[in-house]
Amino acid sequence: MKRGVSVTVNGKRHERDVDVRSSLADFLREDLDLTGTHLGCEHGVCGACTVLLEGEPVRACLMLAAQADGHEVRTIEGLASSEDALHPLQEAFWAKHGLQCGYCTPGIIMSAAAFLAEKPAPTDGEIREMLSGHLCRCTGYHFIVEAIREAARAMAAKRTKA
Amino acid sequence: MKPAPFDYVVAEDAADAVAALGRYGDEAKVLAGGQSLLPMLALRLARPAALVDINRCGELGGLAESGGTLTVGALARQRDLERWARTRSPLFQEVLASVAHAPIRNRGTVVGNLVHADPASELPALLLCLDGVVRAKGPKGERLIPAEKLYVAPLATSLEPAELAIEVRFTLPPDGAGWGFAEVARRHGDFALVGCVTALTLDGGGLVSHARLGFFGVGGTPVRSAAGEALLLGREPTEARRVEAVRAAAAALSPDGDLHATAAYRKKVAAVLAERMLGAAVGRCRKTR
Amino acid sequence: MGAKLFGASVRRKEDPRFLRGEGRYVDDIKLPGMLHAAFVRSPYAHARILSVKTEAARRLPGVAHVFAFADLERWMKPLPLFGAIPPGLAARVAVTMKQVPQLAMGRDRVRFVGEIVAMVLADSRALAEDGCELVEVEYEALPVVTDMVTGGESGAHVIHPEWGDNVAVFFQTGFGDADGAFARADVTVRERFDIQRYVGMPIETRGVVAQWDTRDGSLTAWNSTQVVHFVQQGLVAALGLAPHKIRVIAPDVGGGFGTKANGYPEDLLIPAAAIAARRPVKWAEDRREHMMSAAHARHQAHDIEIAARRDGTMLAVRDRIWLDLGAYNSWGIVLPYNTVAHLLGPHRVPNLRVECRGVVTNKTPNAPYRGAGRPETVFAMDRIVDCLARALHMDPAELRRRNYLSEADMPYEIDLPYRDGNRLVYDSGDFKAGLEAALEAVGYDALRREQAELRGKGVYRGIGLSGYVEGTAIGPYEGATVRLDAAGHAVVATGACSQGQGHETSFAQIAADILGVPLDWVTVVGGDTAAIPFGIGTFASRSAVNAGSSIHVAAGRVRDKIAEAAGALLEAAPADIEIADGTVSVRGAPATSIPLGRVIQAAIPTFAKPGVASPDFEATVYHHQPTVTYTSAVHVAHVEVDPGTGSVKLLRYLVAHDCGKLINPVIVEGQIHGGVAQGVGGGLLEEMAYDEQGQLLTGTFMDYLVPTAMELPPIETVHLEYPSPRNPLGIKGIGEGGAISPPAAIANAVEDALAPFNVRVTRTPLGPSVVVGLVEAAKTT
């Protein structure tokens, strides 16, 4: 069964016919070629597929593409403000060695972006609680926590300057 | 892990949803947040002929507190409840912090979680302890289902196949009530191995005027211990009294064992948590006049 | 040449694409006309296949092909086997070993839940799964073997009839006179320890995309593997194609940990399907499949005893060891012998007797996973050492202090061969210094005082130690080609494959320093059989040493060639040529300075002249690494245990380690952190559980519990440096070390915390139910 949807992804509107069985993750990856959103489990636990739906983190594997009709989605590809710039989270992860294989990274960064918008000065404990919704098998989370802490600091500094 | 094929129906309002459910006999499932349903579809553990999506049913939204009752509409997300709880209920706040993780709570609905009826879930036990009632709409009209009649078996409620749970009501603990909530989970946000919810109110003389003691992860459904509560009512909640109440409550539990915990563990630790949480509840009480 | 990049924590060259979501993993690859594969997998642990009917599946709209064994029979060569016994080992240890190769698809029998029985190709993965449900397989159930101890005894049902029993590997070995030492000892302690089945579980599952070019009869396979050359060799054997017609590429790989360094049916089945279907085929493993068909690991039992003098001096160890190998013995001597070779670790023990059995059972076959036998053996040894400490009323740190080897003992020979058949000689390190460094950094004495104080208040904290010595960087080689282009930029091609270890950066650091060019002038290409003809792959903590050494030597040769050409161009002796930051000059004459690209170009012949030198700025080196080099570490776990609920909270975790010189310190720390996290998972959370019918009970991430950031503290690291004398860079492997000690350190810490309850910890994972069970059991003993 197919259904027509209109979804805005990273600021651009897309109209497509989707298989009702397709998840939002499938739609992003297959229909829109946005493969930065990764599938790690397809049952909502690993967090690798996390994207922002109207600014809030959700599991793209636990939403049907059909349900995204009329909604706004932001993926990792739409996080940086331009081709040349990186979002402060991306800069911080790079500086702090917050990634190894990179597979869990987009989901974590999208969650962290929403998290820092709500909690601009988090404690390490709050960072770890947010991170507990994401599985990483490479890093032990140590440098990820440092990266998010650093991003929070950099974003606060930018706001003070502005 | 892709779902088996299904029809997909977007309901315009509650009546439309009920009609759609009716068309498929008992082969249709309601899709609200989908956070419990979609994994089961992906694993092909559930193979409904149709999903009835209620996310466009505007009248099912909302969360309202009035006169000691909290009414939660079918489309209220767990995070909406979380935001309400931040300033209105430390008990709800504590419970919700243990429900999965933020991205799940952003989509998952309160009512959806409640009627999914996972015995290791936190919210059903809270509903039971707070004299919860589900308002259901079916082909024959509406009815109210009290929490103690709602949970029948793991993942099964007394809702009929063509019935839609449109809202849920919690009776908030009285002013000055103490509360306790604790669970043992292997990781933060996991389903509990076992957990306990308590609420206590003391009257002007320091005697218990209202008591609730509930458990989850202790069998096929959440359990409320009438026996335990009876031993607390009308008395001073001393340590000895609390131990006695917990002993009576635990004696009535017959949990299951599984991969993560033995039955003996669940029974034993239910009691440990109950003792600790009754103590916490007493500590949080303010004597009412 | 100044070593300015070597040793620096430069940020990684590969990160921008990952950060932007522009990594390219196997499932990101899309080819025109591509079909999607799904597999029918056995729901039985042991059964005869009576019939496979594919008609109904073939008729489903959207299904293009359905293959059972007979449909692909011409390609069904047995999967590769590993772990042959090297001559040096066979000469010293009498090993009885049986290996029967696995076929890519069950033909008349299946031996574990998840074994492949048929394959469906369809327009989408969802349709392929629909098709799988329509394949009708008739099975006749057979008796199931699930216990490694009883399964290895006579009378058990035999899984491979031609073997006569289920013992795939058996040997006894040792040195000295262990029985005599036990007879003379003041104290002996004996215990049985059980280490559970747990696995690598990378966040990216496996996957293969295969494309058959009918035009030139060549195959390209993208495979989320750690071992592109092994996969290529398997395809050469099965498909009957020449190696240059088969290209295997590991694109970006989302974690490997050994799970992807195995020979799998899908490596062959997907290319075969692409040839049969004459269309590209993609298989993206899903998580449920991964749990039942990607290699399992660990799962050992040790009946171990230790003998000592009253003053704590260790005299002898005896150990009977069982390994549960799963249904096939694909890895031969590797896991059993690794276990034995690493048992004694940093301890001086003059007498040893071991008996080791690898037993097949009706479970998913095992392959080496980060540590590969070492975590299990260290668990047994560190646990029995703590039990000995308790028997002697001695602090476990002091007992280790009295028995750990130190630098003065190096080189230290253990009278056993290593797994590669060479003598087992610890080449460098100071294990006692590592112990002291760990104890000091964690503040051991203060923690002991705090423990006593808190015990009085009913708060139970414990400190656990574990130390290991690890043979890393097994050879015999990993080659590299270093080649310059016209601008003087370098490509470094190697058989190593990265799954997150940062090869694109750390290997570039080595080459850039030697060549004298900026870091971003060096591009590392790994994981592609077209880039270098011979290779082994990335596992066993081997790539930095093996590939790094080859890169080091090859870059040196290219630098010499640059110096030759520059000398000819600048009319100076090659020895006087300096290269720095991509600029070439004559020493002491800065005015001569020219860009490296000019030197390259001057070597290219024109019609007018031949070129100042040959424009061959390329070198290929296969550095020979005959045996391993030894790292060591001591781990300290600090826990708080709630005896009422059994919850274990990991308060602190510290690692004091030696891995020789560090190419990129932050990458090294990242490797340690990741290993520790996996070890913590093994100690507290992770388990692949089966029931008595061989049904896998662990099917999703709700049951297989990977640690999150809330179950882990910040991981503290202390670096010691004892350079390796066994390779030109002085480095050692570090990929696995972090995963070796955590289960032992945590188990020791939990037992220490619950000492007032007289608990004895004999198994992992230490979930709350297990801990409460231990407290209850201790009440009745």
CB C125 within 8 A of CB B2: yes
Shortest distance, CA A162 to any CA of chain C (angstroms): 26
Q: Which of C24, C30, C255 has its CB closest to that of A137?
A: C255
In this complex, the residue of B43, B191, B269 whose CB is nearest that of residue C772 is B269
**How confident is the model over C580-607, as pLDDT tens digits?**
999 999 999 999 999 999 999 999 999 9
* pTM score above 0.80: yes
Q: Find chain C residues with C-beta within 8 A of A47's C-beta.
A: none
Q: Are C208 and C266 in contact (CB under 8 A)?
A: yes
3-state class of C74 per DSSP?
helix
Q: What is the pLDDT of residue C268?
A: 98
pLDDT tens string C742-777: 999 999 999 999 999 999 999 999 999 999 999 999
- Interface ipTM: 0.98
pLDDT above 90: residue C101: no
Question: Chain A: nearest CA to C675, how far in angstroms?
Answer: 8
At residue B289, the pLDDT reads: 47
Residue in B7, B102, B107 closest to A62 by CB:
B107
> Are residues C458 and C515 in contact, defined by beta-carbon separation less than 8 angstroms?
no
Q: Does C775 touch chain B (CB under 8 A)?
A: no
What are B210-241's pLDDT values in tens digits?
Answer: 999 999 999 999 999 999 999 999 999 999 99
Give residues 17 to 46 of B whose Cβ lies within 8 Å of A.
Answer: 31, 34-35, 38-39, 42-43
What percentage of chain C exceeds 90 in pLDDT? 98
8 Å CB contact of B6 and A1: yes
In angstroms, the separation between the Cα of residue A110 and the nearest Cα of chain B is 11
The Cα C108–Cα B220 span in angstroms is: 41
pLDDT tens, residue by residue, C237-273:
999 999 999 999 999 999 999 999 999 999 999 999 9
Q: How far is C114 from chain B (nearest CA, A)?
A: 15
Give residue B287's pLDDT: 58
Chain B contact for C19, CB < 8 A?
no
Average pLDDT (C507-525) is 98
* pLDDT tens for chain B, residues 1 to 289: 999 999 999 999 999 999 999 999 999 999 999 999 999 999 999 999 999 999 999 999 999 999 999 999 999 999 999 999 999 999 999 999 999 999 999 999 999 999 999 999 999 999 999 999 999 999 999 999 999 999 999 999 999 999 999 999 999 998 889 999 999 999 999 999 999 999 999 998 999 999 999 999 999 999 999 999 999 999 999 999 999 999 999 999 999 999 999 999 999 999 999 999 999 999 999 755 4
SS3 of chain A: helix, strand, coil, percent, to 5: 40, 20, 40
Neighbouring C-alpha atoms within 13 Å toward the C-beta of C308: 25
* Predicted pLDDT of residue C553: 97
pLDDT above 70: residue C709? yes
Q: What is the mean pLDDT of residues C153-177?
A: 97
Query: Is the per-residue pLDDT at C113 higher than 50?
Result: yes
What average pLDDT score do residues C172-196 get? 98
Mean pLDDT of chain C: 97
| Residue A80 confidence (pLDDT) above 60 | yes
Answer whether B259 touches C (CB < 8 Å): yes
Q: How far apart are CA C750 and CA A45, in angstroms?
A: 28
For residue range C140-156, what is the model confidence (pLDDT) as tens digits?
999 999 999 999 999 99
Query: Does residue C1 register a pLDDT over 50?
Result: no
Does the pLDDT at position C473 exceed 50? yes
Cα C292-C297-C303 angle, rounded to 5 deg: 130
Q: How far apart are CA C370 and CA C541, in angstroms?
A: 9
For the packed helices A105-118 and A88-95, what is the interaxial angle rounded to 10 degrees? 120
Residue C3 pLDDT level (bands cut at 50, 70, 90)? low
Pairing of strands B50-53, B28-31: parallel
Q: How far apart are CA C406 and CA C743, in angstroms?
A: 24
- Tokens 């015990």: give the residue: C455
Residue from the list A45, A139, A141 with its beta carbon closest to the beta carbon of C702: A45
